[in-house]
Amino acid sequence: MSFESRSILVTGGAGFIGSHLVDALVGMGAYVTILDNLSTGSRENVRRWIGHRRFSLQVGDCLKAEDLGKAMEDKEVVFHAAANPEVRAALTDARVDFEQNVVATKMVLEEMRKSQAANIIAFTSTSTVYGEAKQLPTPEDYGPLIPISLYGASKLACEALISGYCHMFGLRSVIYRFANIVGSRSRHGVVWDFIQKLRKNPEELEILGDGTQSKSYLLVDDCVEAFLVGLEKPPEKLETYNIGSGTRITVTEVAKIVLEEMGLKDVQFTFTGGVEGGRGWKGDVKTMLLDTSKIEGLGWRSKHDSAESVRIAARQLFGIL
């Protein structure tokens, strides 16, 4: 698929991953409309495009059919990145994942069904749909899928809705199951959290869990490239791809990298001990590594491993780059 001159909607396009995707799409010659309620995204993330003839920002909500209908008018492709980005949010508000993820996705799909033009949806899912996978690296056809968080459960529900709409109403979809995406403009996740804690107290760092949690991290630039490669040949109905670096590191290793990039030494680590065997919180998947051979078969390769991705993200977020 060539994106030049295509009319595209990016929900959540003022957010972390969405804004980087918008950068790439506008740069490739696409006409891009963002629908974002700016609850976690910001105008600053897309400031460079404001006023550009091929870009428009519509402040609105995916939970409002009127906003969606206006934003989707004459669009050919929908990148659905709008969602609650924080896995731990359900611990204080169990409604947020259902409303911001499941209901919002259903609203997007319904407007696409009504549309005369929009028939391709690219969806940002998550590795957490696998739950505590017994097979590492985990391939896309692994099962059964047993998510252990409301966030993972809601994303899996979104995937099921997308599959239903594709098979019943002729939509086409590419679903991306992401590892932990890091980089500039992120305002959540372990790298961001560590930097904020260390800015407040550069002598001590609290690490949630026992520090042995081992996960895969991917720089957002690599993530966006994979996003676009997966759509070069849109499927007849539905395709799913894992997106990750193919490597993993522990949370303690992440902390050490952040300290190095901030130029801090002799910082005392304190571990909360975690829950249920050292997790950072209830619903935290302790070990994750994705099998990315399927997307690599299309010609994509991560340019950075997990450690490199974390290091670059730490530099960007700390303001070194």
**Domains identified in the chain and CATH numbers:** 7-181+217-243 (3.40.50.720), 183-216+247-289+300-318 (3.90.25.10)
Looking at residues 27-46, what average pLDDT do you find? Answer: 97
pLDDT tens for residues 152-164? Answer: 999 999 999 999 9
- Taking the C-alpha atoms of residue 108 and residue 63, their distance in angstroms, rounded to an integer, is 8
Q: Residue 20 pLDDT > 90, yes or no?
A: yes
Q: 247 to each of 179, 215, 259, how far by Cα in Å? A: 10, 8, 21
**What size, in residues, is the chain?**
321
- Specify the pLDDT at position 80: 98
- Taking the C-alpha atoms of residue 171 and residue 237, their distance in angstroms, rounded to an integer, is 7
Q: Residue 70 pLDDT > 80, yes or no?
A: yes
> What single-letter amino acid sits at 173?
S
- Specify the pLDDT at position 198: 97
- Specify the pLDDT at position 276: 87
Query: Positive or negative CA dihedral for 88, 93, 96, 99?
Result: positive
- Specify the pLDDT at position 234: 86
pLDDT tens for residues 245-289? Answer: 999 999 999 999 999 999 999 999 999 998 888 999 999 999 999
Q: Residue 321 pLDDT > 60, yes or no?
A: no
Question: What average pLDDT does the chain have?
Answer: 96
CB 191 within 8 A of CB 314: yes
- Taking the C-alpha atoms of residue 297 and residue 278, their distance in angstroms, rounded to an integer, is 36
Residue 31 is a catalytic residue = no
Decide the pairing of beta strands 120-126 and 217-219.
Answer: unpaired
Q: Which of 84-93, 100-109, 151-160, 179-188 has the lowest mean pLDDT?
A: 84-93
Under 8 Å CB-to-CB from 177, ≥6 apart: which residues?
125, 126, 127, 129, 130, 140, 240, 241, 242, 243, 290
- Specify the pLDDT at position 86: 81
Q: Of the residues 31, 130, 142, 151, which is catalytic?
A: 151
Percent of the chain with pLDDT over 70: 99
- Taking the C-alpha atoms of residue 182 and residue 130, their distance in angstroms, rounded to an integer, is 20
Q: Residue 320 pLDDT > 70, yes or no?
A: no
Looking at residues 5-29, what average pLDDT do you find? Answer: 97
Under 8 Å CB-to-CB from 107, ≥6 apart: which residues?
62, 63, 64, 65, 68
